[in-house]
Amino acid sequence: MNILLLGKNGQLGQELQRTLLPLGRVTALGRDTLDMEATDTIAATLEAHAPDVIVNAAAWTQVDLAETAADRAFRVNADAVGIIARFAQAHGATLVHYSTDYVFDGRKQASYVETDETNPINAYGRSKRAGERAVQASGCRFILIRTSWVFSAEGTNFIKTILSLAQERPNLRVVADQFGAPTSAELIADVTAMAIAAHHGERLQSGIYHLAAQGRTSWYELACYIIRRAHELGFELQVDVANIEPIATEEYPRPAARPRNSLLNSNALADRLGLELPDWTVHVDRMLHQLRRREL
């Protein structure tokens, strides 16, 4: 199996370089080799590599900046994705693509299932939904994975930001009325490899699937968990849990609106792959241990 991985330097791309290797020959490209904003170069690059499977982990993820640079977000998250999907259809390749909870408006009380109506409330979410539609319209074989609250020991994410701020400040204020399940890039990459193998063996149909860790938390509760565990592991922090203040979304205005509920029901994919997905705390703990080992 000839696998072409796009977006190799992101949180997910770095993990996918590990998990895709047992499946076949992997060629991994970053922005220096394939700039997804340069849409006129994408088809030629794909043609040169002649992949059986394209794993697209490249994306525009600057949610707030997308409000004033929507054209760039749509170019990467929709236009480029459409080009890749149409190439996959024309050449008989399978496309693995990633989307987000931001395609929903967050007003649902329960966790979202794949068939729920989408209604993005910011430009980033609209660009990702447009990318989903492009994949579906292409007619290619595809596995489209929606996930949420992604983190890893590499790159920038909420967990690393909280640790950094806790080393500099005696108090933190964190939004307490947005809910989700932190999902590690490690978990997404592991399940992606399983999904590709199952699809190749005709045990997983083309379609949209949700993938998130189990459980539920808020950004505030997650921050408290991070600080509590970090103290236990010996991180030197100025902040204790008692010095973290829960606030409402309106008290922390951002250019882009955020969905209040980002919970994704992952039962469909887990059942088809025979998985029992871990609670979100499992991989958060793994990451904190990893970061602590680096310090030492």
**Residue count of the chain:** 296
Catalytic residue among 98, 102, 124, 220: 124
Three-state secondary structure string covering the chain: CEEEEECCCCHHHHHHHHHCHHHCEEEEECCCCCCCCCHHHHHHHHHHHCCCEEEECCCCCCCCHHHCCHHHHHHHHHHHHHHHHHHHHHHCCEEEEEEEHHHCCCCCCCCECCCCCCCCCCHHHHHHHHHHHHHHHHCCEEEEEEECCEECCCCCCHHHHHHHHHCCCCCEEEECCCEECCEEHHHHHHHHHHHHHHHHCCCCCCEEEECCCECCEEHHHHHHHHHHHHHHHCCCCCCCHHHEEEECHHHCCCCCCCCCECCECCHHHHHHHCCCCCEHHHHHHHHHHHHHHHHC
Tell me if 127 sits within 8 A of 70, measured CB to CB: yes
CA-wise closest residue to 178 among 216, 140, 215 = 216
Instruction: For tokens 């199996």, name the residue.
Output: 1
> Is residue 220 among the annotated active site residues?
no
Tell me if 219 sits within 8 A of 254, measured CB to CB: no
Angstrom distance (rounded) from CA 18 to CA 149: 21
97 phi and psi angles, rounded to 5 deg: -135, 155
The residues annotated as belonging to the active site are 124
